[in-house]
Amino acid sequence: MEAPIAIVRGEGTLLFDENGKAYIDAIASWWVNLHGHAHPYIARKISEQMQTLEHAIFSGFTHEPAVRLAERLLEFFPALDKVFYSDDGSTSVEVALKMAFQYWHNKGEPRTKIIAFENAYHGDTFGSMSVGARNVFSNAFDEMLFDVIHIPVPVAGKEQESIQKMNEALEQNCAAFIFEPLVQGAGGMIMYESHLLDDLIQLAKSKNVITIADEVMTGFGRTGQLFATDHCENKPDIICLSKGLTGGFLPLGATICSAEIHSAFLTSDKTKTFFHGHSYTANPIACSAALASLDLFEKEKTMERVAALSLLMQKAKTRFEKHPAVKEARSLGTIFAIEIKTREETEYLNPLAEKVHAFFIERGIILRPLGNILYVLPPYCITENELEKVMNAIEDFLSKLATNINR
Ligand code: PMP
C-alpha cells in the first residue's frame, strides 16, 4: 500500500503536498468542499466565532449561531419545522432513524421495519450500516445489523420492480423509508429519475410511512438544485444534511423534521424524550462555518456556478459515452461518472481502482474511483481550465485502457 500523501495547504480547487506539488481536488475531499479550500471568508467567520464562543453545552442552553443556522436551513424546507444537530453524515442518519422509530413508539403504535434501497450507503455507524447495502463495507457486522427491507433502486429497466417491491414492503409494519435522493453516492454514482422517487415517496406516505431523504451527499447544489428533493413534488418528512453543510470546513450534521414528527415528542411525559445528544452538538464554530457557507451562496452566486458546471458535466457525458473503454457515462448536476469496462464485476474492490488513483496522482489530480466507477465531483469554484485538465487526463487514461482491451 502506498504511503499517504502529506497535504500542507489548500487554496481554491487545489491541495498542495509537503513538496509543493499541487493536486486538483476533483472529488471535493470526499464530497464536502463547495467553495474552495481555505476560503478566506469562511476562515475569517470561524476565527471570529472562536474568539467569542468556541462551545457550550446544548442541553438546557442555546446560542445564536445554532438558532440562526436552524432558521436559515428551515427557509429551504417549508414542509419541515425543527432542526436537530449532530456530528456528521452518519450521525444525522442515526438521528433520523431513531426519530422515526421513537415517533411510532411514542404514539403507542410501534413499527419496526425500515425500507431502504439495495446498493445504498448511509454511513458507517450501526444504524446507518443497517440501512445500507450488505456488502464488503458491512460483511464483518452483517449478523448484528437490524432487519431492513431492501427494494431495487428505480434505475432504467427496474422502475416497475421497484414500485412492486415497495408495495409489497408496505404490507409490513414499516416505520420509515430512507433513500439517497436521485443519486446513490458510494454505491457507484447510480442515478435515477425524480418522478420515480416522487412515486415511491407518495406510496410510502399513503401508508403513513415516514420518508427520510439522506441529502448528506446531494445537499447544497450537487444535483443542480440546492437539494436533490427540490427536483421532486413530494417532500420528505425528514432530511439529513452534513458534508457540504459547512462548506467542507468542519464536521456537522443536521436532521430536519416535520412538525408532525416533532409533535410525538412534545409532552410532559419525560419517558418520551428524544434521548440523543453528542458532546459537540451544535458546536458554534461549525455552525458559523455553515452560516458563512450559506452567505457565500448569495455573495458568490454559487448556484450560477453550479448551473455552469452542470452544463460542463453534461458535455463530459457526451464526450465519453461512446468511448470504447466506457460501459456507461452518467451526469447529474455537478456530478459526472463513468463506468469503465473491465473483466471483473462492477464493484468496490475492482482492482482498477488502484491503477486509476496512481495514474491521476502522478498528473496532479485527485480522483478516487469507486471500484471501476470513475467520477468527478469537484468544488464549485473549479475553473474551466482545471476541469478540462481533469477530463483530458481521463481521456488519456481511457485510451490506454482501450488499447489494452483491444490487444
Ligand atoms: N450518507 C450519505 C449519502 C453519504 O454519502 C455519506 C458519506 N459518504 C454518509 C451518509 C456518511 O457521512 P459521514 O462520512 O460524514 O459519516
**Å from CA of 407 to ligand 1 middle:** 40
Instruction: For ligand 1, say whether the CB of 199 is within 6 Å of any of its atoms.
Output: no
65 vs 291: CA distance, rounded Å: 8
Backbone φ and ψ of 343, nearest 5°: -75, -30
- Cβ atoms of 192 and 200 closer than 8 Å: no
User: 364, 22 in Cβ contact below 8 A?
Assistant: yes
Question: Which pLDDT score, from 0 to 100, does residue 346 have?
Answer: 63
Q: How far apart are CA 265 and CA 61, in angstroms?
A: 19
What gap in Å lies between CA 229 and CA 194, rounded to an integer?
A: 8
More confident residue, 350 or 390: 390
User: Could you give the percent of the chain with pLDDT greater than 70?
Assistant: 97
pTM, whole model, 2 decimals?
0.97
CB 121 near ligand 1, within 6 Å: yes
31 has pLDDT over 80: yes
Distance 226 CA to ligand 1 centre (A): 18
Query: What SS3 class is residue 167?
Result: helix
Q: How far apart are CA 266 and CA 272, in angstroms?
A: 8
Answer whether residue 253 shows pLDDT above 80.
yes
- The percent of residues in the chain predicted with pLDDT above 90, rounded, is 92
- With cut-offs at 50, 70 and 90, classify the pLDDT of residue 343: confident
Residue whose entry in the numeric block shows the C-alpha cell 443519486: 183
Q: What are 85-128's pLDDT values in tens digits?
A: 999 999 999 999 999 999 999 999 999 999 999 999 999 999 99
Confidence grade of residue 407 (pLDDT, cut at 50, 70, 90): very low
Rounded Cα distance, 391 and 316, in Å? 7
Angle formed at CA 45 by CA 279 and CA 65, multiple of 5 degrees: 45
Phi, psi of 59 (to 5 degrees): -130, 115
Outline where 5-39 has alpha helix (H).
28-31
d(CA 96, CA 237): 10
CA distance 54 to 285: 6
Query: Average of pLDDT values for 236-263?
Result: 98
Q: How far is the CA of 377 from the centre of ligand 1 (A)?
A: 15
Distance in angstroms (rounded) separating the CA atoms of residues 38 and 169: 46
| C-alpha to C-alpha distance for 257 and 82, rounded to whole angstroms | 5
Q: What is the mean pLDDT of residues 28-45?
A: 98
Q: Are 364 and 21 in contact (CB under 8 A)?
A: yes
How far are the Cα atoms of 69, 303, 343, 361 from residue 355, in angstroms, in the given order?
Answer: 42, 34, 15, 10
Ligand 1 atom nearest the C-alpha of 184 is 3
Beta pairing class for 7-11 and 210-214: unpaired
Calculate the average pLDDT of the chain: 95
Q: Is the CB of 225 under 6 A from ligand 1?
A: no
> Is the pLDDT score of 267 beyond 70?
yes
Cell of 318: 457526451
Q: Is the pLDDT of residue 18 over 50?
A: yes
Q: Of the residues 29, 88, 121, which should be mutated to test ligand 1's pocket, given the most ligand atoms within 8 Å of the CB?
A: 121
Distance CA 149, CA 104 (A): 18
CA-wise closest residue to 365 among 373, 205, 356: 356
Q: What is the mean pLDDT of residues 67-85?
A: 98
CA atoms within 13 A on the CB side of 9: 7
Residue 222 cell numbers, joined: 450537487
